[in-house]
Structure 1
Amino acid sequence: MLGAEFEVDVTNIAHGGISVARHEGRVVFVADAIPGERVLVRVTDDAKKSFWRAETVSVVSPSEHRQPHVWAEASVDRAPERRAGGAEFGHIAPGHQRELKRQVLADALQRMAGVDSDVRVEAIDGEPDGTGWRTRLRLHVAKDGTLGPFAARSHTVIPVDSVPLASPEVARLTPLDERFNGATHVDIVAPSGSNAFVLAGDSTSKGRPKPHRVTELVGEREFAVDVRGFWQVHHGAAQTLTSAVQDAIDGDLFDPRASNHDLYGGVGLLAAAVADRFGPTTRITTVESDALATDHAASNLVEWLGSQAVTSRVDRYLQGLRGSATSWRGATVVLDPPRSGAGKEVVDHLVGLEPAQIVYVACDPVALARDVALLRERGWELSRLRAFDLFPNTHHVEAVATLVPAG
C-alpha cells in the first residue's frame, strides 16, 4: 500500500504533531491535517502492521480552524516532499493549536499516569499569529551549498525565501541567498544582550567549535552562555520559565539551607530563579553534563555564596550519592531533563533522597506523563501544573509541574 492514495476522516490529534484517522479499520497517522477534516492522503510508511503513516495531499473538507499556512514553503499546496519542516501547526489557528496541545498533554497524563487534568496551554507575549519568536535558528546546507530547512520528516534541504518563525533580527541576518560549500549547517543567533552571529558549521567534524561567550538577559539579570550552547529559543521563554518555576515552588515546603538542586541545570537559569525568589542565604547546586555550560553556571550564580555548579551526568551524580548518608530532606529539586525525560533510574534515586518537593520542567508531554507515573507509583502526587506555548506553529509545548510526597 506504500504510495496508495485515499480519503479519510481525521478524528483526533496524536503526540508529535500528527493527526489520527482510520482506513478500513487500520489506524493511519496523518501529517498536515486537523481533527474534523476529510483529507486525501498518500501512504508514506506501511512497515507496521498495526498502523500506517501518511501525508495530506489535499484537503477535501477543511476544518473551521484551518488558516493559510504562516510559512508558504510549508503549505499543503506544495507536494509533501517539498514542504519545509519545523512549522507543522502553521496551518492551524493559534488558539486551536493551544487546544490541541492541551489535549495531547491531558491525554498523556490520564492514559499513562492516571491523572485527570484541566490544564490549559497559556499563550505568551509575541506576535498574534505565532511568528517572529525564534532567537536561534539552524538551517542546513544542500550539496550545492544552498541553505534551507529540512523537509518535514526527511533530511532533504528545502530552499526557502523566508523564515517567518525567526525573530526580526534573525530573519534580517539569515543569508538565504548565499552559498555555504563545505558546511553542513548554519546557525543564526541573536542573544538579547550581545551582538548577533551567523555561524557556519560542520556536524561531521570531530572537534568542538571554539567557545564564544555571549550574554542573555532575563529582566535585569545577565547570563553568560556559549553562542552555540543551550538557551531557550523563544524570546520570552527564559522569563516565562523563571516566573513559572518561582510560582511552582511551595514556599511552605522550601528550606533555603537544605540541599536544594537544579538538575540538568544548563547555565543556571532555573537555579538563579530559585535563589532570586528565596534570597541570598539560599543553598543550591546545579548539575549539568556540559562542562562549558557548568563553567558559565558558576559565573552566573557567583553572587550566591551557597551555590555551586557540578559537571556530571545527572544519573551518575545521583548514583554517587547512593549508599551514603546523604539526604535531601527538606530540599527542593528543580528537574529540567532532555526530551526523553528523567527515567526510572533518576526517579528512583530522587525518591530515595527524600526531597520535600520536585519542580519538573518538561518539553515533552509524554515523557512528563511517564515520569509522573513513576513518581506516583513511588508515593508522590502531582499538585500543580501549568503549560506554555513556547513554540507557536509547532506541536511542542512546555509544562511546569510540582510533585510532592502523597499524604
Structure 2
Amino acid sequence: MVFVRHALPGERVTALVTEDNGGGYCRADAVTVHSASPDRVTPSCPLSGPGGCGGCDWQHVRPERQRAIKAGVVEEQLRRIAGVDRSVVVEELPGGVLGWRSRVRLAVDDAGVAGFRAHRSHRVVAATGCPLSVPGMVDGLLGRRWRPGIELDVTVDANEQVHVSELRPGRGSRPTSRRIAGDGVAVQRAAGRDWRVHPHGFWQVHPAAADVLAEAVGSWTRAPRGGTAWDLYGGAGLFASVLAEQVGTGGAVVVVESAPRAVADGERELADLPQVSFVTGRVERVLARGLGGGAPDVVVLDPPRKGAGREVISQIGAARPARVVHVACDPAAFARDVGLLREQGYRLAELRAFDAFPMTHHVECVALFEQADGNGDTATTTPAVSPEE
C-alpha cells in the first residue's frame, strides 16, 4: 500500500516514494499530476507542495471537498475499528479556511533562517509568510537572523497581542524557554468568559474552536443540579466552567489535568466557581487512586491525540456515569475509544465533527455516549483494536 500525499482520489499522478521502512506500506509525494480531479485548486501558499512546508496537507483541495474527505475518514474508522456505521458531516467553523491559525512554531536552521519543518522531517523550509496564520503574527520573525538551532513559539491571543518565546535545546528532552515578546499572559475568550492563560499552554488553535466545542459539550452533558461531573484531561477548565453552571454551587466538578501550569491557570481563572476543584496528575493514575466525592453523573474527556485508551475507558465504565462526552482530534484513536466504550455498555448517541484545522487532514469530533438499554448498542460485532492495526 502506498499513501500518496498531495494527490486526490481518482487522479493519475507520478509519485515519488519518500519513506519505505519495509513494512506493509510506504509514503510518497505526487510530484506530477497527469489527470487532475475537479476538486483540485491552486494552493494559496507556494510552499505547500511536495518537498515544501509540512504544515498544510490539503491546500490543493477545494474546501468543501476537504470536509467531505474528512467525514469519510471518520466514517471509515468508526466502521473498521469500532464496528459502528454512522453518517458524518464535518461542520465549517467561522472565519474561512485562511488566516485562522493562532499558534505557530517556527524552526531555525543552521544558518539562522527561520521557517517551517518539512513533512515528517527536521529540515527547515525558509518562508516569508504563512497564509494560514492570523495576519501579522509572524511578520518580523521570518526574514531575520536567529540563533541557529532554536525554535520560536508564536501565539496571538484574543486581544491580538503576539507572544513569542525562544526555545533552546536543553538537557534531556526539555528545552529552555525565553520570552521575546508579550507579557507572559494571553487573553482568550470562550464560554462567556475571559481567560488569562499561559501563551503557549494548551488552547485551541482555531480562534472559534474553544467556544464552539464548549457549546457542543454543554448541550449534551446536562449535568443535574447538585450533581457531580468529571472533566478529564481538562486543561485550564474550559469545559469545567460549563459543567459548573449546570451543577450549581451545590454540585461538584473535578478537573484532572497533568500539566501543572494549566492547573494553576485554571485554579486562578475559575476561583469564582467554588464547586470546581483541580487534581494534578495523569488521568489513569488519578482514577486508579480514586477521586472521591461520589460517582459522577457525567464525564467529559478531551484526551491527547493518542486517545484515552483501555485503562481510562475501563475506569470510566466502572464509575457508571449516565453520560460520557468525548472530544477527540484523531479519528483512529477516537474510533478505538468508541469501541472500548461500547464494551463498557455505552452506545454512541450523538456525534458532531468540526473542521477546526482547515487545509490539513485533522478533524475534531465531539460525541455523546449514553448507557445502552436492553436494545442497546454493544460491541458484539467488531472488537476495538489499536489505531495502528
The alignment status of 1:144 with 2:144, answered yes or no, reads no
Shift in Å at residue 216 of structure 1? Answer: 1.1
- Alignment of 1:98 with 2:67, yes or no, is yes
Distance 1:199 1:183 in 2: 14
Report the count of equivalent residues. Answer: 367
Instruction: State the match for 2:364 in structure 1.
Output: 398
1:278 to partner: Cα distance: 5.2
Which residue among 339, 351, 360 is the counterpart of 1:385?
351
SS in 2 for 1:108: helix
Partner of 2:331: 365
Secondary structure of the corresponding residue to residue 170 of structure 1: coil
Q: Partner of 1:196 in structure 2?
A: 162
Q: TM-score under structure 1 normalisation?
A: 0.86
2:30 is the counterpart of 1:56: yes
User: Structure 2 matches for 1:245-256, cutoff 5 A?
Assistant: 245-249=217-221, 251=222, 254-256=223-225
Please state how far the C-alpha of 1:181 moved relative to its aligned partner. 1.1
CA distance in 2, matches of 1:227, 1:72: 29
Are residue 235 (structure 1) and residue 202 (structure 2) matched? no
| 5+ long unaligned stretches in structure 2 | 374-389
Q: 2:56 aligns with which of 82, 87, 101?
A: 87
**Contact 2:115-2:125 at 8 Å conserved across structures:** yes
Q: Aligned partners of 2:140 and 2:227: how far apart in 1?
A: 47
**Residues 233-273 of structure 1, C-alpha deviation per residue, up to 9 Å, x if partnerless?**
11111111111111222x3xx32323311100111111112
Output aligned runs, 1:145-164, within 5 Å. 145-164=112-131
- Of the structure 1 ranges 153-162 and 217-226, higher mean CA displacement relative to structure 2 is found in 217-226
Partner residue of 1:213 out of 185, 203, 219: 185
Residues 169 and 190, structure 1, Cα contact 8 Å, conserved in 2:
no
SS at match of 1:274: helix
> CA 1:146–1:208 in 2, change beyond 3 Å: closer, same or farther?
closer
- CA distance, structure 2, for counterparts of residue 305 and residue 147 of structure 1: 45
Contact 1:134 / 1:170 at 8 angstroms: preserved in 2?
no
Equivalent position amino acid for 1:180 in 2: W
Residues 397 and 207 (structure 1), Cα distance of their counterparts in 2 relative to 1, 3 Å cut: closer
Q: Conserved in 2, the CA contact under 8 Å of 1:174 and 1:198? A: no
Q: Residue 261 of structure 2 aligns to which amino acid in structure 1? A: L
CA distance in 2, matches of 1:97, 1:194: 28
Q: Distance in 2 between matches of 1:102 and 1:184?
A: 37
Distance 1:72 1:35, change over 3 A: same
CA distance in 1, matches of 2:106, 2:58: 19
What is the identity percentage for the equivalent residue pairs of Structure 1 and Structure 2? 38
Does structure 2 retain, via aligned residues, the 8 Å contact 1:113–1:373? yes
Aligned residue type for 1:86:
G
Structure 1 residues 168 and 280, CA, compared in 2 at 3 Å: closer, same or farther?
farther
Alignment of 1:15-30 (within 5 A): 27-30=1-4
Equivalent in the alignment of 1:334? 300
Q: CA deviation at 1:288?
A: 0.5
Q: Pick which of 202-211 and 290-299 moved more.
A: 202-211
Hey, what's the Cα distance between the residues in 1 that align with 2:120 and 2:83? 32
Instruction: Report the AA paired with residue 29 of structure 1.
Output: F
Instruction: Give the alignment partner of residue 131 of structure 1, picking from 94, 98, 103.
Output: 98
Is residue 168–residue 177 contact of structure 2 (8 Å, CA) maintained in 1? Answer: no
1:86-127 CA distances to partner (integer Å, 9 max, x unpaired)? 110111000000000000001101111111111200001112
**In the alignment, which residue of structure 2 is the partner of 1:18?**
none
SS of 1:73 mapped into structure 2:
coil
Higher mean C-alpha displacement, 202-211 vs 236-245: 202-211
1:110 equivalent in alignment to 2:48: no
1:261 and 2:233 correspond: no
When structure 1 is superposed on structure 2, of 198-207 and 258-267 the one drifting more is: 198-207
Shift of 1:207: 6.0
Q: What are the Cα deviations for residues 53-87 of structure 1, in whole angstroms up to 9, with x where unaligned?
A: 21111101000000001211113xxxx33x11111
1:391–1:209 distance in 2 versus 1, CA, 3 Å: same
Q: 2:45 aligns with which of 71, 80, 86?
A: 71
Shift of 1:44: 2.2
RMSD, aligned α-carbons: 1.9
Superposition deviation, residue 183 in structure 1? 4.8
- Is the contact made by 2:229 and 2:243 (CA closer than 8 Å) also made in structure 1? no
Q: Does the 8 A contact of 1:261 with 1:334 survive in 2?
A: yes
Residue of structure 2 aligned with 1:175, choices 134, 141, 145: 141
Q: CA deviation at 1:41?
A: 0.7
Q: Structure 2 length as normaliser, TM-score?
A: 0.90
Kindly state the Cα deviation for residue 203 of structure 1 after the two structures are TM-superposed: 3.7
**Is structure 2 residue 266 aligned with structure 1 residue 292?**
no
Structure 2 counterpart of 1:267, one-letter code: A
- For structure 1, the 5+ residue unaligned runs are 1-26
Structure-1 separation of matches of 2:87 and 2:140: 40
Query: Does the 8 Å contact 2:327/2:366 carry over to 1?
Result: yes
Q: In the TM superposition, what is the alpha-carbon distance from 1:198 to its structure 2 partner?
A: 2.4
Secondary structure of residue in 2 paired with 1:285: strand
